[in-house]
Structures are given as C-alpha cells and as structure tokens.
C-alpha cells in the first residue's frame, strides 16, 4: 500500500503562481511514475503532468508552457509549479503514483486550487 499526501493548494489571482507538493509513503520500493491529475466540478479527471523515475515528463496540452513538474526521489516527493494561472485551472488536484511489477495506481485525497478574478 502507498499513501500520498498533498499540500500547497489554495486561492490565487489570475496570472499568479502556486506550488503543489505530494509525498509518498508506505510500500514505495516499486514506485515508478508520479504526477498530477485534476477534476473540475461536474467534469472528468484529466491529466495535468507526470514524471517518471528517469525524469521523463508528460504534460496535458492545456498546461504546457505554464506548469512544471519535478520530483525528488530521495524524498519520494513530486512537485507541481503552476505559473500564469487561469480561472480554467480551478479544480481539485489529485496526486498520482504508479508502481510496477505488478502495475498498480494510487491516488491522493486531492487539494483544491481556486483561481479567482
């Protein structure tokens, strides 16, 4: 079992910045990819960004050029630096972790990000 604890959500003005953190604990020996998804009210959960253990990254089209994902393997922590925030970025952001052999996905509890005008 892997537990994911997120922090850093909150209220920010359009054009502002916010940084999210997520730390994994528990059975982390097979931890591979980590990342972030988000879900707005009444909408589905969509990809924000992921990063592999080899530091390869993947971003959703709507956040490319504005968000940056990184990880600290020694701390089992993934970060999401969010810049140039827009009202459409308002959502609950969920931390994601993938383990391998066998493959399984874990989710954090979510943290609210609100971008207000």
Q: What is the model's pLDDT at position 74?
A: 87
Transcribe 4-37 into DSSP letters: EEEE--EEE-TT--EEEEEEEEES-TTEEEEEEE
Higher-pLDDT residue of 110, 29: 110
Is pLDDT at 54 greater than 90 in this prediction? Answer: no
> What's the rounded Cα separation, in Å, for the pair 8 and 17?
11
> What's the rounded Cα separation, in Å, for the pair 67 and 21?
13
Is pLDDT at 44 greater than 90 in this prediction? Answer: yes
pLDDT band at residue 102 under the 50/70/90 scheme: confident
Paired tokens of 4: 């994911």
pLDDT band at residue 30 under the 50/70/90 scheme: confident
Q: What is the DSSP letter of 60?
A: -
pLDDT digits (tens, 9 = 90+) for 1-20: 899 999 999 999 999 999 99
């Amino acid at each position: 079992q892997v537990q994911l604890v997120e922090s850093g959500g909150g209220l920010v003005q359009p054009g502002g910045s916010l940084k999210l953190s997520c730390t994994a604990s528990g059975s982390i020996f097979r931890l591979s990819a980590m990342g972030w998804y988000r879900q707005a009210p009444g909408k589905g959960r969509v990809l924000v960004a992921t990063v592999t253990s080899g530091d390869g990254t993947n971003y959703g089209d709507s956040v490319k050029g504005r968000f940056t994902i990184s990880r600290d393997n020694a701390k089992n922590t993934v970060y999401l630096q969010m810049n140039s925030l827009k009202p459409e970025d308002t959502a609950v952001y969920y931390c994601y972790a993938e383990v391998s052999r066998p493959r399984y996905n874990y989710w954090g509890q979510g943290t609210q990000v609100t971008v207000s005008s």
